Amino acid sequence: MTALGVEHDQHPACGGGSLTRHLQLIRLPGGGLSMLRFFCASLLLTGLLASCTPRVTTVAGVTVTPVLIKVSEGAAPGDTLTIQGRYLGNAQTARVIIGADENGQGGTAFPASAVQSWSDTEIVLKVPEGMPAGGSWLFVEVGGKRSTGLRVSVR
């Protein structure tokens, strides 16, 4: 063995001949060898840390719970009801539930025909005829996740 590499003669793995192999590192000026070692160690550490990072996967569906911020004042059947919030989804993946208790139990969903417009931050609905009058709680459910609730009244 040499200081910078490995030297061997007549090794059985090499066919037993008089093959001499020298593996030597390139000589680098002024502390270059320690720089090379530091660089290699940095690469190994970076690879190790990268393998420990959480995997980001795309999940079909909702990952954020909808949040209601404001609902317009009480509306009568035929009037519009405006709901403002965040992460409200769209008319194909979500529904508005009215008449529930404060825990979100019970209530009825607005029919799809009542939707006038729907964005991720605002829903405008027409209160259908026959909607029971009185105060209750309103929720938005997006992809199985139910929002915070807001008090609402139908006149």
* CATH number of the structural domain spanning residue 130: 2.60.40.10
* Out of 28-32, 117-121, 145-149, least confident range: 28-32
In this structure, is residue 61 part of a structural domain?
A: no
Tell me what pLDDT residue 44 has: 76
Do 152 and 100 form a contact (C-beta atoms < 8 A)? no
Mean pLDDT of 141-147: 91
Domain that holds residue 147: 67-154
Tell me what pLDDT residue 51 has: 65
Do 102 and 137 form a contact (C-beta atoms < 8 A)? yes
In this structure, is residue 62 part of a structural domain?
A: no
In this structure, is residue 27 part of a structural domain?
A: yes
Mind listing the pLDDT tens digit for each residue in 64-115? 899 999 999 888 999 999 999 999 999 998 999 998 999 989 888 999 999 9
Does 1 or 34 have the greater pLDDT score? 34
Burial of 107 (0-12, 13-18, 19+ CB in 10 A): middle
Tell me what pLDDT residue 109 has: 92
Mind listing the pLDDT tens digit for each residue in 54-65? 554 433 555 789
Q: Is 68 left (phi over 0), alpha (psi -120 to 50) or beta?
A: beta
Whether residues 77 and 104 fall in one domain = yes
